[in-house]
Amino acid sequence: MSIKNLFGKTVTSYNDVATDVESTDFIDEIVAKRDTYLPPIDFADPKNFVFYGSAELYYEAAIKRIYEDYPYDGSKAEQIDFEERSSYLERWLFDNKYPKTTGHVVLGTSANISGKTGNFANTTVSEYIEVHGGLHIDSTATNLDEHFEHSAKYDAAKNRTQNFNCDFDNGATIEFWLKKTSFDTVNQPVEVILDLWNGLTGTSECRIVVSITGNTSPDPTIIFTIKEAGNLDSNVSIPFTDLTSFNHYAFSVQNTSTKTVIRTYKNGEEIGTTEL
């Protein structure tokens, strides 16, 4: 309902007003929210509000209540009611720190790849996300306790010995969403989605490359390449035709006693199996 339609309108009952909103509860919650007092406290610094107890536990309890109890699928009235029943700290965390959207990056054809031969997309301006295998301490930390708090945790019992551990005996899965609307039809390069490499060559080289090329007929192709212990590259290809929307692709790799089994998936459905 537009604002101009409110003027001159005769309201005969509470329910008449509610016909233009989701429910009468919504009106009640809006009124309660309007009348709620919020103190001018900066909760980003615990010294502004913590005088007894543990500041860390206050923050931990507040964020836990949000991610466990917030009515994500509830009505607007239920969401406002949750806010009204929240502490000032919980309100501040939800408004200022709690993630409310998902993020993504848009990458072009300009990622440089080293140690590989062939028609790979290379330019002077690199576009890629680089992650080191680790484990590394947090180089930005100034105090010893910050090194432990913000660094990767080593735990061999939970298979946390490095940031990326590609062990085919235990199995490994690579998955990603892909929307690809155009290709470089002139140079027809291979564009790399993932390059997982131990940085070695020869018999010590272990590498997985997931790439994509439009230089195939009749359809573009996603290529999954493995080089293990210096053996020749082994390729698995997935043709795809739906370029205008996002699709989910996955490769799972598992060693058996005699072979390596690679299964490919699209949108959760297995579409092929390759044995090496």
The residue among 96, 129, 157 that closes a domain is: 96
Residue 218 forms part of a structural domain: yes
Local confidence band at 99 (pLDDT 50, 70, 90 cut-offs)? confident
For a pLDDT cut of 90, what percent of the chain falls above it? 4
Cis omega (within 30 of 0) for bond into 218: yes
Whether residue 242 is contained in a domain is answered as yes
pLDDT at residue number 164: 72
How is residue 118 annotated by DSSP? S
Rounded Cα distance, 53 and 153, in Å = 27
Q: Looking at the structure, do residues 92 and 185 belong to the same domain, yes or no?
A: no
Residue 54: domain span: 3-96
Which of 62, 96, 130 is at the close of a domain?
Answer: 96
Highest mean pLDDT among 20-29, 59-68, 202-211, 229-238: 59-68
> Does residue 157 form part of some domain?
no
Task: Choose one of 49, 72, 96: the last residue of a domain.
Answer: 96
Residue carrying structure tokens 């309007």 = 34
Residue at 228 is within a domain: yes
* Residue 125 contacts residue 110 (beta carbons within 8 Å): yes
| Residue 106 in domain | no
Q: What is the DSSP letter of 259?
A: -
The verdict on residue 51 lying in a domain is: yes
Residues 148/149/154/159 CA torsion (nearest 10 deg): 180
- Whether 91 and 170 map to the same domain: the answer is no
The verdict on residue 59 lying in a domain is yes
Place of tokens 């993504």: 104
75 is a domain residue: yes
Helical H segments across 97-194, by residue range: 144-150
Residues 166, 172 contacting (CB under 8 angstroms)? yes
Q: How many domains does the chain have?
A: 2
